[in-house]
Amino acid sequence: MMWNGRWLNKTLLGYWVVIAACWAAAVVAGWTVPSSQFDNYVYDLMLRLNPPGDQNPEAVVLAIDDATLNEMGGQRNLRGILAEAIQLARRAEPTVLASDVLIADQGDAAEDARLEEALTGAKNLILPVDTTISGGGGERWEEPLERFRKHAQAAGQVELARQRRDGVTRRISLEWVAGHRRYWALSLEAFRLSLGAGRILESRDEIEVGDVVIPARLTADYHRMLWIRYGRRPVPALSVRDLKADPSRGQLLRGKVVFVGVTSQSLTPDRVLTPNGDSMSGVDVHAEAFETMRRGLFLQDASDSAVLGFCAATALLAGLIFWFTAGWPAYLSAAALLAFVHTAPFPFFAHGVIFPYVAPAASAWLTVAAAASYQHFIIRRRLRLAVAEKTRYQQAIHFVTHEMRTPLTAIQGSSELMGRYNLGEDKRKQMAGLIHSESKRLGRMIQTFLDVERLSDGQMDLKREPVPLEAAVEACLARARPLAERKSILIRGDGPFPGTILGDGELIEYAIYNLVNNAVKYSPSGTEVKIFSAQKKGGVSLSVADQGIGMDAKEVKQIFRKFYRTKRAEATGEAGTGIGLSIVEQIVATHGGQLEVTSEPGRGSCFTVTFPVAGEGDHR
Ligand code: ADP
Q: Which residues pair with 597 in a beta bridge?
A: 607
Q: Which atom of ligand 1 is nearest to the CA of 579?
A: 6
When pLDDT is averaged across residues 37-65 and rounded to a whole number, the result is 89
Closest CA to 517 of 487, 538, 540: 487
At residue 253, the pLDDT reads 93
What tens digit of pLDDT does each residue of 418-473 get? 888 888 889 888 888 889 888 887 887 777 677 666 666 665 667 889 999 999 99
User: In a mutational test of the pocket of ligand 1, which residue from 483, 565, 587, 606 has the highest number of ligand atoms less than 8 Å from its CB?
Assistant: 565
CA of 509 to the centre of ligand 1 (A): 17
Give, as one character, the DSSP assignment of residue 185: B
Are 240 and 88 within 8 A, CB to CB?
yes
**Model confidence at 362: pLDDT above 50:** yes
What tens digit of pLDDT does each residue of 398-427 get? 767 777 787 888 888 888 888 888 888 898
Is the backbone of residue 352 left (phi > 0), alpha (psi -120 to 50) or beta?
left
CA of 576 to the centre of ligand 1 (A): 8
When pLDDT is averaged across residues 90-100 and rounded to a whole number, the result is 94
When pLDDT is averaged across residues 328-348 and rounded to a whole number, the result is 94
CATH class of domain segment(s) 1-43+301-460 = mainly alpha
How far CA 49 is from CA of 203, 281, 299, 352, 375, in Å, comes to 32, 23, 14, 13, 39
The residue among 231 and 125 whose pLDDT is bigger is 125
The residue among 377 and 270 whose pLDDT is bigger is 377
Nearest CA to ligand 1 atom 7: 580
State phi, psi for 616 to the nearest 5 degrees.
-55, -45
What tens digit of pLDDT does each residue of 379-388 get? 788 888 888 8
Q: In whole angstroms, give the CA distance from residue 611 to residue 500.
A: 9
User: In a mutational test of the pocket of ligand 1, which residue from 403, 487, 518, 596 has the highest number of ligand atoms less than 8 Å from its CB?
Assistant: 518
CA of 578 to the centre of ligand 1 (A): 7
**Model confidence at 619: pLDDT above 60:** no
The segment with the largest mean pLDDT, out of 138-142, 208-212, 577-581, is: 208-212
User: In a mutational test of the pocket of ligand 1, which residue from 522, 544, 579, 607 has the highest number of ligand atoms less than 8 Å from its CB?
Assistant: 522
Of 169-178, 181-190, 266-275, 554-563, least confident by mean pLDDT is 266-275
CA of 505 to the centre of ligand 1 (A): 23
Q: In whole angstroms, give the CA distance from residue 618 to residue 286.
A: 91
Q: In whole angstroms, give the CA distance from residue 24 to residue 37.
A: 20
Residues framing ligand 1 (Cβ under 6 A): 514, 518-519, 522, 546, 548-551, 559, 564-566, 569, 575-582, 605
At residue 451, the pLDDT reads 65
Comma-separated ranges of CATH 3.30.565.10 domains in the chain: 465-619
Closest CA to 515 of 610, 449, 591: 610
Mean pLDDT, rounded, of the chain? 88
At residue 320, the pLDDT reads 93
At residue 8, the pLDDT reads 63
When pLDDT is averaged across residues 122-141 and rounded to a whole number, the result is 86
**Model confidence at 292: pLDDT above 80:** yes
Helix ranges (H only) for 230-281 are 240-245
E strand or H helix at 610: strand 604-612
E strand or H helix at 321: helix 304-324
Predicted TM-score (pTM) of the model is 0.63
CA of 472 to the centre of ligand 1 (A): 21
377 pLDDT tier (thresholds 50, 70, 90): confident
CA of 78 to the centre of ligand 1 (A): 106
CA of 581 to the centre of ligand 1 (A): 7
CATH 3.40.50.10140 assigned to 465-619: no
When pLDDT is averaged across residues 145-163 and rounded to a whole number, the result is 85
At residue 13, the pLDDT reads 85
At residue 1, the pLDDT reads 33
Comma-separated ranges of CATH 1.10.287.130 domains in the chain: 1-43+301-460
* C-alpha torsion 478→484→485→486, nearest 10: 130
Q: Which atom of ligand 1 is nearest to the CA of 575?
A: 3
Are 42 and 357 within 8 A, CB to CB?
yes
Give, as one character, the DSSP assignment of residue 564: -
Q: In whole angstroms, give the CA distance from residue 385 to residue 381.
A: 6
When pLDDT is averaged across residues 242-263 and rounded to a whole number, the result is 93
The residue among 348 and 276 whose pLDDT is bigger is 348
Q: Which atom of ligand 1 is nearest to the CA of 549?
A: 25
The segment with the largest mean pLDDT, out of 181-195, 270-284, 474-488, 577-591, is: 181-195
CA of 229 to the centre of ligand 1 (A): 85
Angle between helices 5-30 and 33-49 (to 10 degrees): 70
